């Protein structure tokens, strides 16, 4: 197998431009990610996912943020609309784990039909006092046990449906009181409390094929953002025991400062395997691809192991699942 580029990149529009195709051919990114601007009709999305794979000459993974609720790139009426995860879990009550499995099995069904075989979920951050609103209702519960149980159900639903989960935001974003899209959150909790609460769901779900970092500072561990911190990455690998592929959260987010070249190299040096870079001009995508280069031996091995989790979706009656979910939600519908 040829060495992958240590990047996950995106596209400007509904189809690839000639320049994008050339960049992807040369950079050979590990995979790609889709946003709302890349979504129009099912046929168009299928053509775009084919474009991506044709550009690199292989069945590259293509991911998306389809959490449901506020963060979902596929929207109604073409695709299902979903309640925010926290509201969904509340509506399902004692059968929330069953409902969460069905939710993500249905999401996987929609993704696979479009050529999308990865999803940036489950999000198993545990909220706390003051959790920023950008994150709060995206959480799966308000305690470690609930978040872990729902995260496992989401994982199982996606894997059974042929979609690779990406657990986030490792090792835990729940205490953040700022939005890392715009600011760098700082968490002052003790190492012991981080281990007990924030790290626990990730430890329980450490066999997830891929993980995405959190852009925030844990004062008890390091003064550098987790994505750029060898100490935090060591905690992820050794304390949490997560040995699979780790991608950064989008390095163009305002929580991180510095040149894209420095950020890309810094994240890889800290121990991340692949750089996620989104929502930027072609010149910046080229800069990141050049700075990241090819995957290290260890990253390549993890990438191949992640792809080894791919499976053919199980044979299931989707309309029956829809009906079962509506019953579980007491007729509330999906969203």
Q: Which are the catalytic amino acids? A: 181, 249
CA dist., res. 99 & res. 95, Å (int): 6
CA distances from 226 to 127, 178, 236, 270 (A): 18, 15, 10, 9
Query: Which distant-in-sequence residues (6+ apart) come within 8 Å of 267 by Cβ?
Result: 213, 227, 228, 248, 251, 275
Beta bridge mates, 67: none
Cite the DSSP H helix spans in the chain.
18-27, 42-56, 85-92, 96-112, 133-136, 144-160, 191-193, 200-204, 230-234, 260-270, 282-292, 297-307, 318-328
CA dist., res. 58 & res. 234, Å (int): 32
For 52-76, what is the HEC assignment?
HHHHHCCCCCEEECEEECCEECCCC
Sign of CA dihedral 50, 53, 57, 58: negative
Asked if the peptide bond before residue 197 counts as cis, ω within 30 degrees of 0, the response is: no
Count Cβ atoms within 10 A of the Cβ of residue 274 and give its class: 0-12 exposed, 13-18 middle, 19 or more buried.
buried
């Amino acid at each position: 197998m040829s060495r992958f580029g240590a990047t996950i990149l995106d596209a400007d529009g509904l189809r690839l431009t000639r320049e994008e195709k050339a960049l992807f051919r040369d950079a050979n990114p590990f995979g790609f990610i889709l946003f709302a601007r890349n979504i129009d009709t099912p046929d168009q999305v299928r053509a775009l996912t084919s474009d991506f794979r044709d550009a690199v000459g292989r069945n590259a993974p293509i991911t998306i943020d389809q959490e449901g609720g506020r963060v979902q790139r596929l929207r109604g009426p073409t695709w299902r609309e979903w309640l925010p995860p926290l509201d969904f879990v509340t509506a399902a009550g004692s059968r929330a784990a069953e409902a969460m499995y069905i939710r993500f099995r249905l999401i996987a069904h929609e993704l696979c039909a479009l050529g999308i075989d990865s999803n940036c979920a489950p999000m198993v951050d545990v909220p706390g006092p003051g959790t920023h609103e950008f994150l709060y209702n995206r959480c799966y519960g308000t305690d470690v046990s609930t978040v872990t149980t729902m995260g496992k159900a989401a994982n199982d639903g996606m894997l059974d449906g042929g979609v690779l989960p990406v657990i986030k935001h490792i090792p835990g974003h729940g205490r953040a009181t700022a939005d890392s899209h715009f600011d760098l959150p700082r968490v002052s909790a003790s190492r012991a409390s981080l281990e007990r609460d924030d790290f626990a769901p990730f430890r329980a779900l450490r066999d997830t094929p891929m993980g995405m970092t959190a852009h925030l500072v844990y004062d008890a561990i390091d003064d550098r953002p987790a994505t750029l911190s060898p100490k935090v990455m060591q905690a992820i690998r050794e304390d949490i025991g997560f040995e699979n592929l780790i991608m950064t959260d989008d390095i163009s987010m305002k929580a991180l400062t510095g040149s894209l070249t420095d950020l890309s190299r810094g994240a890889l040096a800290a121990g991340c395997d692949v750089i996620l870079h989104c929502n930027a001009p072609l010149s910046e995508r080229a800069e990141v691809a050049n700075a990241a280069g090819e995957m290290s031996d260890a990253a390549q091995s993890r990438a191949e192991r992640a792809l080894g989790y791919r499976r053919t979706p199980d044979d299931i009656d989707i309309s029956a699942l829809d009906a079962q979910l509506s019953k579980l939600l007491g007729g509330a519908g999906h969203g």
